[in-house]
Structure 1
Amino acid sequence: MARSNRSRGRAARAREGHPDLDIDRLTAGWRRTEVHAGREWNVQPVSEAQAVKAYLCPGCGLEVAPGVAHLVAWRADGVLGDAADLAGRRHWHTHCWRLGAR
């Protein structure tokens, strides 16, 4: 008799459906706050799969190519508010951000 590789619990889970995902909760888990040169920065990693556009790294002046994992950083303590800080976010190579070329 042939053996099935399918889990017997899969059909039951499919009938129940998937719970709704809380995107804010998922993305907030990745974002962190760092302090550099007396300023607070929000730092969020971008995976290879999420990197679909090219950006210019402010640390080295070279392109962050599509498909390359990198970081997005923006001020967390700006005086103009969260919207202005978020609009001023920049995409950095991970190693450039770690070197501290801000």
Structure 2
Amino acid sequence: MGRKHRREPERNADRPAFFTYRDVENFHGEDWIVQTVTGSAATKTYRCPGCDHEIRPATPHVVAYPAQGLGGVDARRHWHKPCWAARHHRGPRH
């Protein structure tokens, strides 16, 4: 019996495959685009602005950046999911 060739679902060219969820949320009076990153797509080490700890490779997390697009890549921040959820209860650590 022959195999059926299944088409891959078309991917939005504006959004890389490793972002699985995208939303707009308010933070400090500004709209931010928030995207989740899967553990398999997390290949670098980042520093979370919420707790000032490292986000190690293979750790699912969120990326947030201003919705207005100001600042480009430099404006993106990688957060632990719990730190992003608690961002209104504490300020960023420096």
- TM class by smaller structure: 0.7 to 0.9
Counterpart-to-counterpart distance in 2, 1:19 and 1:46:
20
Give the unaligned 5+ runs of structure 2: none
Counterpart-to-counterpart distance in 1, 2:13 and 2:21:
10
TM-score (norm. length: structure 1): 0.69
Larger Rg computed on CA atoms: 1
Name the structure 2 match of 1:93. 80
Distance 1:19 1:55, change over 3 A: closer
SS in 1 for 2:13: helix
Bigger helix share? 1
Counterpart-to-counterpart distance in 1, 2:71 and 2:15:
23
1:41–1:74 Cα contact (<8 Å) kept: yes
**Once superposed, what is the RMSD of the aligned Cα atoms?**
2.6
1:48-82: per-residue Cα shift (whole Å, max 9, x none)?
Answer: 111111101111110001111100000113xxxx2
Name the structure 1 match of 2:28. 37
Deviation at 1:20, TM superposition (A): 6.5
1:52–1:66 Cα contact (<8 Å) kept: yes
Residue 24 in 1 paired to residue 13 in 2? yes
Give the unaligned 5+ runs of structure 1: 1-7
1:51–1:67 Cα contact (<8 Å) kept: yes
SS in 2 for 1:87: helix
Percent identity between matched residues is 31
TM-score (norm. length: structure 2): 0.75
Name the structure 2 match of 1:67. 58
1:75–1:86 Cα contact (<8 Å) kept: no
